Amino acid sequence: KRQQHERIGQRILAETRAFGKLILFGEHFVVYKVPALVGAVAAYTDCECERLCEPGLVVVDNRPAVPDYKVTKAAEADAALRLVFDHFGLDLSKEGFKLTFGGDLCCASGIGASAAQVVSLARALSQALKRPMSENEINAAGYEGEKGYHGTPSGIDNTAATFGGILKFQRTDGEPIFERKAIVTRMLIVYASTGITSSTTAVVGDIQAKKESDPLWFEALLQKYIALVQKAELALNAGVIAEIGQLMNENHELCQQLTVSCPELDRLVEAARLAGAAGAKMSGTGRGGLMLALTPTPEIQDAVADALKAAGAPQVWKTSFA
Ligand code: MEV
């Protein structure tokens, strides 16, 4: 009986999985409705949901995280979870729930941990309430939660968290457009945290302000980015690692010009290139957070991971899109 209970418990948890993500091309630009390319990582967050007799929300957060992440994000995370409950029409002043978050996704700014958390919550609520939902409905619930982290999420993070794989994603005035990309060659990735937890709300807001104060500057960068992502999609379709890497380098330069990189990210990107990466760039919000490197062989992947540790990255991970 006990064994059966555990099996059922595990199955339910597995069904609440939501993945982390790495933006390959287009962080920030994607907010302005141009296409971006994103890869979901295999690491995931899951969520167990229990009803309580008392109203309110109890959260047990067992997710691994870089130091500071959970404290810095606490208020935004609380807002995000409550927005998902609102979306389900649940009033936490009348009903009570206990959520236990787990999984192997290490929370760090840039990896889409917030999106993975709200998408796993949407999956858990759909099960707890016995309300079957389509993947698009789960994604939409996750998008509502993402608004707790910043006012104008593009939706790229929750879409990668829900669907996995490598996606081409574009925000529009209506529903987002996205498609799964076939992965024609194994892509070995190293990603590293700067150890700095950045606020997506603050950085996206600052770029919006800069765009408004200098529209021509922003438009010129946006046009360069659009030309770049078109080439990146072709290189990805053809699976040419050297070219994808070179274009990642160019995307990093555009991030620098957009002022979303920082010395800590630049140092890690440089270290990865020197150690043999085909290309390297910051990924996600920036001004702290994460960088990623594309490495042509497992040996170079190891060498880049070592070089990033030697360059002071507090956490380094290896993954692949296959
Ligand atoms: C954050 O992972 C990516 C940003 O482009 C914000 C967004 O797309 O909502 C910085």
Reply yes or no on whether the pLDDT at 251 is more than 60.
yes
- The answer on 201 and 144 residing in a single domain is no
- The answer on 108 and 56 residing in a single domain is yes
Tell me the CA–centroid distance for residue 155 and ligand 1, in Å. 8
* Residues 298-318: tens digit of each pLDDT: 999 999 999 999 999 999 999
Question: How many angstroms from the chain centroid is the CA of residue 317?
Answer: 15
* Residues 134-181: tens digit of each pLDDT: 999 999 999 999 998 877 899 999 999 999 999 999 999 999 999 999
- The answer on 211 and 136 residing in a single domain is no
Q: Considering the chain, what percentage of its residues have pLDDT values greater than 90?
A: 92
Check which CATH number belongs to the domain holding 215 and give it: 3.30.70.890
Which of 139, 159, 200, 281 to mutate for ligand 1's pocket (most ligand atoms within 8 Å of CB)?
Answer: 200
Helix (H, G, I), strand (E, B) or coil at 34: coil
Tell me the CA–centroid distance for residue 50 and ligand 1, in Å. 31
- The answer on 169 and 36 residing in a single domain is yes
- The answer on 307 and 165 residing in a single domain is no
- The answer on 176 and 32 residing in a single domain is yes
- The answer on 163 and 53 residing in a single domain is yes
Helix (H, G, I), strand (E, B) or coil at 137: helix
Please give the DSSP secondary-structure letter assigned to residue 105: P
283 CA closest ligand 1 atom index: 2
The residue from 135, 156, 181 where one domain ends is 181
* Residues 198-208: tens digit of each pLDDT: 999 899 999 99
Q: What is the mean pLDDT of the chain?
A: 95
- The answer on 225 and 163 residing in a single domain is no
Residues with CB under 6 A from ligand 1: 23, 27-28, 30-31, 112, 153-154, 156-157, 200, 204, 284-285
The residue from 181, 205, 233 where one domain ends is 181
Tell me the CA–centroid distance for residue 157 and ligand 1, in Å. 7
- What average pLDDT does the segment 207-219 reach? 98
Specify the amino acid at residue 232.
A
ipTM: 0.99
Reply yes or no on whether the pLDDT at 223 is more than 80.
yes
Output the pLDDT for position 65.
96
Task: Output the pTM of the full model.
Answer: 0.95
Q: Are strands 166-170 and 177-181 parallel, antiparallel or unpaired?
A: antiparallel
- What average pLDDT does the segment 270-286 reach? 98
150 CA closest ligand 1 atom index: 9
- The answer on 298 and 173 residing in a single domain is no
Tell me the CA–centroid distance for residue 176 and ligand 1, in Å. 14
- The answer on 192 and 106 residing in a single domain is no
The residue from 181, 203, 234 where one domain ends is 181
Output the pLDDT for position 255.
98
284 CA closest ligand 1 atom index: 2
Helix (H, G, I), strand (E, B) or coil at 97: strand
Report the distance separating Cα 74 and Cα 71, nearest Å. 5
- What average pLDDT does the segment 94-102 reach? 96
155 CA closest ligand 1 atom index: 9
Element spanning 179, H or E: strand 177-181
- What average pLDDT does the segment 254-267 reach? 98
Q: Containing domain of residue 295, as a range?
A: 187-321
Structural domains of the chain, count: 2
- The answer on 38 and 160 residing in a single domain is yes
Element spanning 270, H or E: helix 263-274
Tell me the CA–centroid distance for residue 283 and ligand 1, in Å. 9
Considering only CA atoms, which of 45, 31, 80, 76 is closest in space to residue 205?
31
Q: Are 315 and 177 in contact (CB under 8 A)?
A: no
Tell me the CA–centroid distance for residue 284 and ligand 1, in Å. 6
Q: How confident is the model at residue 319 (pLDDT cuts 50, 70, 90)?
A: very high
Helix (H, G, I), strand (E, B) or coil at 134: coil
Tokens matching residue 83 = 């927005």
Reply yes or no on whether the pLDDT at 52 is more than 80.
yes
Report the distance separating Cα 177 and Cα 198, nearest Å. 27
Tell me the CA–centroid distance for residue 39 and ligand 1, in Å. 13
Report the distance separating Cα 9 and Cα 40, nearest Å. 25
Residue 77 CA neighbour count, 13 Å, CB half: 22
Check which CATH number belongs to the domain holding 160 and give it: 3.30.230.10
29 CA closest ligand 1 atom index: 5
Residue with CA at minimum distance from ligand 1 atom 8: 154
Through-space distance between the first and last CA atoms of the chain, rounded to whole angstroms: 38
146 CA closest ligand 1 atom index: 9
- The answer on 154 and 30 residing in a single domain is yes
Place of tokens 């936490």: 92
